[in-house]
Structures are given as structure tokens and as C-alpha cells.
A and B are shown apart, each in its own frame.
Chain A
Amino acid sequence: ILNVEQSPQSLHVQEGDSTNFTCSFPSSNFYALHWYRWETAKSPEALFVMTLNGDEKKKGRISATLNTKEGYSYLYIKGSQPEDSATYLCAPDSNYQLIWGAGTKLIIKP
């Protein structure tokens, strides 16, 4: 079973500031890396699926990078807004099973 680490566990960011957080995973048997956003009282929502080393994906103010050789992915949020408050989950796909990190809880302060 993979060991997936997300850091930090929680993060308070001032509205308008940019931020980033990390997902670390073992680099062996890697197929893909998923990022999800989970807002309180809602369902987790897919943000990105990344497969290639060096991949960079972007969705509005949110972007992610992937390093499969060293086993990490960064998620960046530019100009944080209150609606970005959520828990961000990463899940590497190894042997066709997603292994979930515990998430980074992001709180945007107005």
C-alpha cells in the first residue's frame, strides 16, 4: 500500500494571497495522480488527473505540477478567494487503485 503524505494539514491564507501545498507519494508503480477539491457539505470534485512527469495543468486560478521521478505534486492557487476554502485531496493511482491522502484544509480569511 502506498504512503501518501499531504502537507500542510491545514492552511490559513489571506484573501488575495497566493498559496501552494504538496502531495508526496512513492514513485514506483505510478500510473496517474488525481487532485480533488472537497467543499464542506458537498461532494469531492475532480480538479486534475495527471499522468506524465513534468505535467502541468491549469483550471482558472488553480494549477498543478507533477514530478513522478521524485514522487511529488504541487497544487497552486493564485489570488485566493473565499470560494477556494475547501479540503484539497490528492490520490496517486497505482495498480488501478486510488490511494488517498488525508488532505490539506485551506481556509481563506477575508
Chain B
Amino acid sequence: DGGITQSPKYLFRKEGQNVTLSCEQNLNHDAMYWYRQDPGQGLRLIYYSQIVNDFQKGDIAEGYSVSREKKESFPLTVTSAQKNPTAFYLCASSMGQGIAHGYTFGSGTRLTVV
């Protein structure tokens, strides 16, 4: 079955370390997105990519980096520059922007800085 796989489900990081969250989709979707969720807030966009080898900053990109070398994959690196990285991270994909398509979401990664 097609879908999005995020790994790992839980991740613990020491302060000062970079960590990479994986997001893979087999839906043949062009667009992929990374969101962050904090308690009591809506999902906030970190980065998005409309096509391979291209990506754009979202509302809260500082301290994060991404790559889109393959259509199926959109990994997110949380760098040591991210001041408050403990959060729940969701990856999503859609057929493309500019069309009212729904998003397909992964099951998320909960990152905790210890």
C-alpha cells in the first residue's frame, strides 16, 4: 500500500548534536512538507519541496535543514542551532501545490533533547 513512512518514532538527542529525521513516500507525490507541532498550537511549516532538488523555507526554518535528492525522500536535519527542538515532527506529501489536493501524513517523530 502507498503511504509515508517516518522514522524513528521516538528520538532522543543530546544538546549540541545534529539529528536527522527520515521521511519516505511511495505515492509518487511531487510535493513534500515538514511540520512541527507544539502543545496547543497548529502545525507550523518548517520546509517544503515542490519538486526534486528544490525546497523552500516555511515559517520556522531557522535551525533546520532539508534535502530533496530523490522524489521519494525528504529528510529533515535538526541542527544544534535550533534553540528549542523538543517537539513532534510530521512529514506530509501531496500531488502538488496550486491544486486543492489533500495531504497524506506520516505517523510522526517525537524528538526529545536530553
Closest Cβ neighbor of B97 among chain A residues? A96
Residues of A within 8 A of B102 (CB): 34, 46, 49
Give the distance to chain A from B49, nearest Cβ to Cβ, in Å: 13
Q: How many A-B contacts at CB < 8 Å in the complex?
A: 51
Find out whether the CB atom of A102 lies under 8 angstroms from the CB atom of B40. Answer: yes
Bound-state CA distance A32–B97 (Å) is 12
**Chain B binding surface, main DSSP class:** loop
Interface of A is mostly: loop
Contact indicator B41/A102 (Cβ below 8 Å): yes
CB pair A44–B42 under 8 Å, yes or no, is: no
Count residues of chain B with CB under 8 A from any CB of chain A.
Answer: 22
What distance in Å separates the Cβ of A76 from its nearest Cβ neighbour in chain B? 20
CB interface residues, B 1-25, toward A, < 8 Å = 4
CB of A60 to closest CB in B, whole Å = 17
Not counting A49-B101, A98-B103, A102-B40, a sample of 19 additional A-B residue pairs whose C-beta atoms are within 8 angstroms of each other reads A9-B40, A34-B103, A36-B103, A43-B90, A43-B104, A43-B105, A43-B108, A44-B103, A44-B105, A45-B105, A51-B100, A89-B42, A89-B43, A97-B48, A97-B97, A98-B45, A99-B42, A101-B42, A102-B41
